[in-house]
Amino acid sequence: MSKIKIAKSHSNRSGTRSSSTAPSLDMTPMVDLAFLLVTFFMLTAKFRNMEPIEADPPSSTSLTQLPEKVMLITIDTAGRAYFDISGRTVREKLINRMMVRYPGLKMTQEQIENFSKMGTFGQPVEMLPQYISGDDDIKNALDEVGKGIPLDSLNNQLGDWIQEGYYAFVDDATEQGLTREQLKEDGLRYAIKADANTEYAKVEKVIDVFREKQIFQFNMVTNLEGSDANADASLTAE
Amino acid sequence: MAEIVQGGGGKGGKKKAKKGSARIDMTPMVDLAFLLLTFFVLAATLAKPKAMEIIYPKEVDDKEDKTKLDDALATTLLLGEHENEVFYYTGAYKPDTTQLMLTDLSKDGFRKIMLDKNARVNDQVLQLKAKLESKEIDEATYEEAYKQVVGDKDAPFVVIKTVDETKFKNVISAMDELNICNVRKRAIQDMAETEAIAVRQRAAELDLKKK
């Protein structure tokens, strides 16, 4: 157990040394605990990938967690759309599918590897190999001038990403031995993370792309509202 | 800098060498440990995104369904281009006669109005919650009953109408208010031109009054 050792006062005759030693504290248990916590947090921490854009979502009282298996479309204030899907193996299948759909898209094995590790991206298919191979400076420069993933009706790449993303996810799930019923319960979810100050019309454009693909249920990413967190309490008070 | 203080081994103190075992100054290590601890604690709690589920209707415009709903139960919330100016009206929109009422998306604004309108449903929901808490019903039964109560055909419904300039956060706060008020029958639509004009006129009127 922890003990606090305090140098006794001068009345202690035997100790000529006692006057020289300062009060000392056995720090060992505290240090043990600190390291235990450090280890815990280090092991449980999941590092997020660098995100090419800043999108500060609006706040709400919703307590639902963002699902694990998710296809995330991020929209910034300018209305640029960025795509992300969770799971390395899913991403690998996705990029292979996209290469079939876009014969112009050619990637080396290394680029495919990098793509599967990467997070959110917002580049048209034509720029993708260059973007993936580039270092951080090139990526930043490309993100700055980029217009996000094209989603207009003539060149609806976002729609293709969504569709192929879904198929890649299903392929991956069947490979892992999930049945259809399990997929219904625990399938791919679609999330939209838009900056609070984005015009709704721009968000709606992305939603319309989803609707074309017969997807109607979304998770809007929000921050938890601090002050209003106990909304139910106000209800009972009425 | 970190120093390792070791007892003995030297020329001088033979007496100390016998008593003290090897001691290490742990202060820097502890400092580092706490620094890391602080970092991970802060980083961990900050990255917790929440999500609000929104289900959109299959067809962009299915008029058949709309006509089935009773106009008396309808409330329309008009989210204009200004963040803090939100209007609403009840029933169907009739040019000239429909009066737009000013409200806001704060706790005392639209929420009060909807809690009032939806009082019957809210009472039922509260009863259900009480039953759930006293373990009279389990989670699954609660969910089922909740769905029935909020989906009741006499429950009020809300149409949120937006213009191109409406901010995303306004739409989300409006949806959030509806969640709090247990209004589950709702839709998001584009504002009709007549309504947009009416909103602008009303806003101008109110501006005049202020001055």
Cβ distance A235 to B48 less than 8 Å, yes or no, reads no
Contact of B197 with chain A, judged by CB distance below 8 Å, is answered with no
Same domain, A102 and A189: yes
To which H or E segment does residue B78 belong?
strand B74-79
Q: Which of A201, A220, A228 is facing B54, going by the closest CB pair?
A: A220
Q: Give Cβ neighbours of residue B45 (< 8 Å, ≥ 6 apart).
A: none
Same domain, A131 and A173: yes
Question: Would you call B102 helix, strand, or coil by DSSP?
Answer: strand
Nearest to B88 by CA among B150, B177, B167: B177
Whole domain around residue A35: which residue ranges?
Answer: 4-44
pTM as predicted = 0.75
Residue A172 lies in a domain: yes
Nearest to A78 by CA among A59, A54, A58: A54
Domain count, chain A: 2
Cβ distance B171 to A200 less than 8 Å, yes or no, reads yes
State how far the Cα of B63 lies from the Cα of A160, in Å rounded to an integer. Answer: 30
Do the bridges between strand B74-79 and strand B86-90 make them parallel or antiparallel, or are there none, so unpaired? antiparallel
Residue A22 lies in a domain: yes
Same domain, A80 and A28: no
Chain B CB contacts of A198 below 8 Å: 167-168
Q: Which of B37, B169, B180 is facing A37, going by the closest CB pair?
A: B37
Stretch 186-225 of chain A: residues touching chain B, C-beta under 8 Å = 191, 193-203, 207, 211, 216-225
Q: B167 near B138, Cβ under 8 Å? A: no
Contact of B51 with chain A, judged by CB distance below 8 Å, is answered with yes
Same domain, A219 and A131: yes
What number of C-beta contacts closer than 8 Å exist between A and B? Answer: 151
Residue A53 lies in a domain: no
Q: Which of A198, A224, A232 is facing B50, going by the closest CB pair?
A: A224
Average pLDDT, chain B: 80
ipTM of the complex: 0.72
Distances (CA, A) of B68 to A146, A151, B64: 46, 35, 7
Same domain, A184 and A146: yes
State how far the Cα of A66 lies from the Cα of B100, in Å rounded to an integer. Answer: 37
Half-sphere exposure for A89 (CA within 13 Å, toward CB): 9
Question: Would you call B187 helix, strand, or coil by DSSP?
Answer: strand
Do the bridges between strand A24-25 and strand A4-5 make them parallel or antiparallel, or are there none, so unpaired? antiparallel
Same domain, A90 and A181: yes
Question: Would you call B185 helix, strand, or coil by DSSP?
Answer: coil
Tokens of residue A126, six digits: 């034509």
Q: B36 near A40, Cβ under 8 Å? A: no
Same domain, A146 and A119: yes
Cβ distance A222 to B172 less than 8 Å, yes or no, reads yes
pLDDT (tens place) for every residue of chain A, 238 residues total: 445 555 444 444 444 444 566 777 787 888 888 888 888 888 887 666 667 788 888 888 888 888 888 999 999 999 999 999 988 999 999 999 999 999 988 889 999 999 998 888 999 999 999 999 888 888 888 888 888 999 988 889 999 999 999 999 999 999 988 888 888 888 899 999 999 999 999 999 999 999 989 999 899 998 887 644 443 333 333 2
